[in-house]
């Protein structure tokens, strides 16, 4: 039996006697930190949002909001967590704590009614408040002043639209938080009113130091163990020695299984902090993305270099989920409705698979073998995703779902096309939600290549696209609807590209 300790609101606390599958949410509430709420226990509502100190993109440390209901407490051994209680500053005995600027704005702008969702909103809002490059995108024309008296920093690179405030606040930071009673306008008002952190703000200052290092963990209780090794080689040895071991990265799929389906594993091996799985390299002929980088990290580090991925990320779940979710996990589940496989198929990506004997590279097109099955062997994990360069110039990702954000795809279509002098020279199309596995639309690609990019070609190819795969009827969509959406998707792409050419 070993220990695991988390620093919560500045105080180090043992997670004992929690079971290895106990979530951060349950651990916090059992310690009396009941500001962190359980709404759904499956990553949908954000009531459980907390801040974790993680390696930063523009500063040594970023405060990252995650769903505490999905992450095992043992996974945060050695890490720092801030809850809604920890955001307020405790004053002298007998005096109430001073509200944090985001709490203050939520209070004065009526952003909280029953208050159940509020701590979660406040934590997601605080993560965006501390995002280092937020104020670089503030609107120079807006002289708003926050209630704490701080001024909104202004910058020439203003980017204000329906989803970005004059203070640079990206509303997508709140896309994983639901509120039943306030209505979202006062919450948005609060978000758009927060100023810049002051120089004395301890959490802003904390960003200048390195985040806590990942620590090797062996936390065992009863007949179950949570393990974290420091290197890939040690991890792969464990996977070889323990055939019962299950790897977990961001836990956004695994955590749902634990909570909703009572999944209990005898040995869980964390891979999310392994340095070998967290590299991002742009080479002359390919880009290699570590399988354990979170989608938020990839999005911010690539910064639009792969336009198809840049289209995917905002449509993938919510910011809270993307802060934990990894490409390795999305491919590891083998789900036919995962959103990254169609995109990676269109990009002709391959996977670097690693086990204790070494590595091999497998084209993604050959990876899936059946419903939630793949060529990955026992003891093998996905180390990285490789995307060949150069990229096709026309790229689009169409996710057809019931809601615009934070929903599962009924159908997903990814296009990567090269169109030169009005002719389609090369077409790669990835599809999700229309077969037992994600697939390439090979017949449609053939119907496009070598033909003029005209309405006639597109109409003929759309008929072929409608026949790709074997779409099913289920509670999300009928097979007819799915087929129809495939055809529509190609027409939409044509309309978008011809609009772009004529404008």
Ligand X SMILES: Cc1cc2nc3c(=O)[nH]c(=O)nc-3n(C[C@H](O)[C@H](O)[C@H](O)COP(=O)(O)OP(=O)(O)OC[C@H]3O[C@@H](n4cnc5c(N)ncnc54)[C@H](O)[C@@H]3O)c2cc1C
Return the number of the residue (119 or 432) whose C-beta is nearest ligand FES.
119
Residue 396's DSSP bridge partners are 415
Residues that bind ligand FES (CB under 6 A): 38-41, 43-48, 67, 69, 112-118, 179-182
Closer by beta carbon to ligand X, 197 or else 332? 332
Q: Hey, which residues does 482 pair with through a beta bridge?
A: none
Per the CB < 8 A criterion, the answer to whether 196 and 150 are in contact is yes
- Encoded one letter per residue, x for contact with ligand X by CB under 6 A and - for no contact, window 382-421 reads x-------------------------x-------------
Distance CA 447, CA 467 (A): 12
Chosen from ligand FES, ligand X, none, partner binding at 117 (C-beta under 5 to 8 Å by type):
ligand FES
CA 477 vs. chain centroid, Å, equals 25
Local structure of 488: helix, strand or coil: helix
CB of residue 178 to ligand FES, shortest distance in Å: 7
87's contact among ligand X, ligand FES, none, with CB below 5 to 8 A by partner kind, is none
Q: Which does 181 bind (CB under 5 to 8 A by kind): ligand FES, ligand X, none?
A: ligand FES
Q: How far is the CB of 477 from ligand FES (least distance, A)?
A: 25
Residue with smaller CB distance to ligand X, 154 or 238: 238
The residue of the chain with the least Cβ separation from ligand X equals 329
Q: Which residue lies nearer to ligand X by CB, 44 or 348? A: 44
Q: Is the distance from CB of 227 to CB of 273 less than 8 angstroms? A: no
Do the Cβ atoms of 374 and 367 come closer than 8 Å?
A: yes
Q: Judged by CB, which is closer to ligand X: 129, or 368?
A: 368
How many Å apart are CA 134 and CA 168, to the nearest integer? 5
Among 246, 362, 389, 460, binds ligand X (CB under 6 A): 246
**What are the residues facing 288 on neighbouring strands?**
281, 386
Closer Cβ to ligand X, 169 or 316, answer by number: 316
Number of residues in contact with ligand X under rule CB under 6 A = 31
| Interaction mask 311-350, ligand X, x per CB under 6 A | -----xx---x--xxx-xxx-xx----xx-----------
Burial 262-272 (b: 16+ CB within 10 A, else e): eeebebbbbbb
Q: Residue 261 or residue 284: which is nearer to ligand FES going by CB?
A: 261
- Judged by beta carbon distances under 5 to 8 A according to partner kind, the member of ligand FES, ligand X, none in contact with residue 317 is ligand X
49 makes contact with ligand X (CB under 6 A): no
The first and second tokens of residue 134, run together, are 């937020």
The residue written with tokens 């590891």 in the block is 332
Nearer to ligand FES, 40 or 154 (CB): 40
- Which of ligand X, ligand FES, none is residue 254 near (CB under 5 to 8 Å by kind)? ligand X
List of E strands, 389-468: 394-400, 411-420, 423-432, 439-440
The partner in contact with residue 179, picked from ligand X, ligand FES, none with C-beta cut-offs of 5 to 8 angstroms by kind, is: ligand FES
Of 449, 440, 434, 443, whose CA–CA distance to 484 is shortest?
434
117 or 239: CB nearest ligand FES:
117
Return the CA Rg of the chain: 23
Give the contact letters, 263-292, x = binds to ligand X (CB under 6 A), - = no.
Answer: --------x-------------------x-
Structure tokens at 121: 């909103």
End-to-end C-alpha distance for the chain, whole angstroms: 66
SS3 412: strand
State the DSSP H helix or E strand holding residue 123, giving kind and residue range, or none if neither: helix 118-129
Token pair recorded at residue 203: 């959490």
Contact positions toward ligand X, by CB under 6 A?
A: 42-44, 246-254, 256, 271, 291, 316-317, 321, 324-326, 328-330, 332-333, 338-339, 381-382, 408
């Amino acid at each position: 039996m070993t220990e695991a300790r988390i620093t919560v609101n500045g105080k180090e606390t043992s997670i004992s006697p929690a079971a290895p599958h106990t979530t951060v949410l349950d651990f916090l509430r059992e310690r009396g930190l009941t500001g962190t709420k359980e709404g759904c226990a499956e990553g949908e509502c954000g009531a459980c949002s907390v801040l974790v100190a993680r390696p930063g993109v523009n500063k040594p440390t970023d405060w990252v909001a995650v769903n505490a209901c999905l992450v095992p407490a043992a996974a945060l051994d050695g890490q720092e967590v801030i809850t809604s209680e920890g955001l307020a500053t405790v004053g002298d005995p007998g005096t109430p704590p001073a509200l944090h600027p985001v709490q203050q704005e939520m209070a004065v702008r009526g952003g909280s009614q029953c208050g159940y969702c509020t701590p979660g909103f406040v934590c997601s809002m605080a993560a965006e408040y501390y995002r280092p490059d937020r104020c670089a995108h503030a609107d120079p024309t807006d002289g708003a002043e926050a209630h704490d008296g701080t001024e909104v920093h202004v910058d020439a690179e203003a980017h204000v639209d329906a989803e970005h405030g004059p203070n640079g606040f990206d509303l997508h930071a709140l896309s994983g938080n639901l509120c039943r009673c306030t209505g979202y306008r006062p919450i948005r008002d609060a978000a758009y009113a927060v100023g810049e952190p002051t120089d004395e703000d301890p959490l802003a200052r904390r960003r200048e130091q390195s985040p806590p290092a990942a620590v090797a963990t062996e936390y065992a209780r009863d007949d179950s163990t949570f393990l974290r090794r420091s290197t890939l080689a040690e991890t792969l040895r464990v996977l070889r020695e323990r055939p019962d071991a299950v790897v977990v990265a961001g836990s956004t799929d695994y955590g749902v299984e634990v909570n909703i389906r009572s999944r209990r594993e005898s040995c869980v091996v964390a891979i999310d902090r392994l340095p070998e799985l967290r590299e991002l390299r742009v080479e002359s002929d390919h880009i290699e993305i570590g399988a354990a980088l979170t989608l938020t990290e990839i999005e911010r580090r690539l910064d639009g270099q792969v336009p198809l991925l840049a289209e995917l990320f905002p449509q993938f779940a919510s910011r809270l989920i993307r802060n934990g979710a990894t490409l390795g996990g999305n491919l590891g589940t083998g789900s036919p409705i995962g959103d990254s496989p169609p995109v990676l198929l269109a990009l002709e990506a391959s996977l670097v698979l690693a086990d204790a004997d070494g590595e091999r590279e497998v084209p993604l097109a050959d990876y899936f073998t059946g419903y939630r099955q793949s060529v990955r062997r026992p003891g093998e994990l996905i180390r990285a995703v490789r995307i060949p360069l150069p990229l096709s110039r026309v790229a689009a990702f169409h996710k057809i779902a019931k809601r615009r954000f934070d929903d599962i795809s009924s159908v997903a279509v990814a296009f990567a096309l090269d169109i030169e002098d009005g002719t389609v020279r090369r077409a790669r199309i990835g599809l999700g939600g229309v077969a037992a596995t994600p697939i390439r639309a090979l017949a449609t690609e053939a119907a496009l290549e070598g033909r003029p990019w005209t309405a006639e070609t597109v109409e003929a190819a759309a008929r072929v696209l409608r026949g790709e795969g074997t779409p099913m009827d289920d509670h999300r969509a009928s097979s007819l609807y799915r087929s129809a959406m495939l055809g529509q998707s190609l027409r939409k792409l044509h309309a978008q590209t011809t609009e772009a050419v004529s404008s």
